[in-house]
Amino acid sequence: MRYKRSIKKNFSVKEQCSFSIREQELRTYRDILVKHQTLSMLCLILTQKSKWVEINNRLKSIKMKNIKIYLILAVGFLAVAGCQKDDIQTFDVNSPGVVFPGAGDAAIYKGYNSADKTYYINESFLNIPLSQETYTIDFPVKISGVAVDKDRTVKYKVIAEKTTALPSQFQITEAKIPAGQQYGYVRFVLSRDNALDNLSVKVSFELVDSDDFKVGSNEYCKGVLNWSNMLPMFPASSFYTRTYNMIILSPLTKLSTSVSYYSPIAHKAVLDALGWPVNYWPRYSNSFEDPGTGTTTILGAYYTDLYARKLQKYLDDYAAANGGKRLMHNAGDGQGIVIQARVNGAVYNPNI
């Protein structure tokens, strides 16, 4: 202030008055600016508060919507759960279920084929003494309930349109679950017939409800018994059927588990071409096992082309030795069609 006063002493009164007016104007402008900044800050705060209020309201709205959604889902889940509980098929000891063995029984019962959901048994009189005119086969069945202390009857129905065996070639003598057992049988008595030296026949049948049992599942109620006087088929489960389809060319894929293109002659050709015994058939695996070593019963995918080429040579040699006549399938969907090996790059041709 002393500095300012000393400066003012060097100016006239008029000039000093002018300075005072300017100082007052500056103070006024400063006050206005301060008020303006205060108002701006206040407006900014109010604006932000308004936004936060809006955001908070929106969050509350979203939370309420989510709560409503959760409530709707919870009610729906309870309703569905209630329906599912009502749809579950249950059995009590007085009405248990009966089925053929499935994939879970493959350690002992190897006949279930998951491709067509059918249990297969393949038999032959080949190893039965010629003096024996009949051959008894017990086709396995099992229950899904508990064992009881009495024999119980199993009912079945032969599917005529899918059965090729004549009535004179078989009889079904009984079908039951013995007392105290989980597994039972449908008993077939087969009759020797020289007509089966060059062909196979089958009986297709299915389980039906009886006084003692309900059919447990549609996936495990179909059975097929094949037999002939020729080579018996290998087990119909997936690992064995893939070995066949990896070597024998057909419209099926090489990893198919179907047996629709199986024929005894093609089976025998594979055994002869590869030097496998009659009672031997390796399981397929996506690996490097070689059954030719004699140390494994698994055919690895790496060797399938090698064995298919051995089969092709066998088929070509057979044709050369028989005036160009080639081996043909004698059963299945390929009956009457030339047997072909699935070598790499081969294309199936039903008109060879």
Q: CA 65 to CA 341: how far, in whole Å?
A: 65
Q: CA 261 to CA 263: how far, in whole Å?
A: 7
Q: Please work out, in degrees rounded to the nearest 5, the angle formed at the alpha carbon of residue 266 by the alpha carbons of 164 and 119.
A: 50
SS (H, E, C) the chain: CHHHHHHHCCCCHHHHHHHHHHHHHHHHHHHHHHHHHHHHHHHHHHHHHHHHHHHHHHHHHHHHHHHHHHHHHHHHHHHHHHHHHHHCCCCCCCCCEEECCCHHHCCCCCCEECCCCEEEEEEECCCCCCCCCEEEEEEEEEECCCCCCCCEECEEEECHHHCCCCHHHEEEEEEEECCCCCEEEEEEEEECCHHHHCCEEEEEEEEECCCCCEECCHHHCEEEEEEECCCCCCCCCHHHHHHHHHHECCCCCCCCCCCCCCCHHHHHHHHHHHCCCCCCCCEEECCCCCHHHCCCCEEEHHHHHHHHHHHHHHHHHHHHHCCCCCCECCCCCCCCCECCECCCCCCCCCCC
pLDDT for 201 equals 95
Mean pLDDT of successive 10-residue stretches along the chain, which has 352 residues: 46 52 56 54 52 56 54 52 43 72 89 93 84 93 91 96 97 96 97 89 96 90 94 87 94 94 92 86 82 68 87 95 93 95 94 88
pLDDT for 2 equals 45
Q: CA 122 to CA 237: how far, in whole Å?
A: 12
Side-chain half-sphere CA neighbours of 311 within 13 A: 27
Cβ proximity of 202 and 224 under 8 Å: yes
pLDDT for 88 equals 40
Per residue in 46-105, pLDDT tens? 555 555 555 556 655 555 555 555 555 555 555 444 444 434 444 444 568 999 999 888
What are 81's two structure tokens?
């759960």
Scanning the structure block, which residue is given the tokens 């599917």? 159
Which residues, in sequence order, are CB contacts of 199 under 8 Å at separation 6+? 228, 330, 331
pLDDT for 22 equals 55
Q: Give the chain's largest Cα–Cα span.
A: 155
What are 228's two structure tokens?
């002939």
Cβ proximity of 207 and 100 under 8 Å: yes
What are 316's two structure tokens?
């070509």
The torsion angles phi and psi of 206, rounded to 5 degrees, stand at -140, 155
Side-chain half-sphere CA neighbours of 248 within 13 A: 32
Q: Please work out, in degrees rounded to the nearest 5, the angle formed at the alpha carbon of residue 150 by the alpha carbons of 149 and 152.
A: 130
Q: CA 242 to CA 249: how far, in whole Å?
A: 12
What are 201's two structure tokens?
């026949």
pLDDT for 197 equals 85
In 3D space, the residue among 318, 302, 304, 317 whose CA is nearest the CA of residue 346 turns out to be: 304
Scanning the structure block, which residue is given the tokens 């990896």? 246
Q: Which CATH architecture has domain 91-232?
A: Sandwich (2.60)
Residue ranges covered by each domain of the chain: 2-87, 91-232, 237-352
pLDDT for 13 equals 52
Global pTM?
A: 0.55
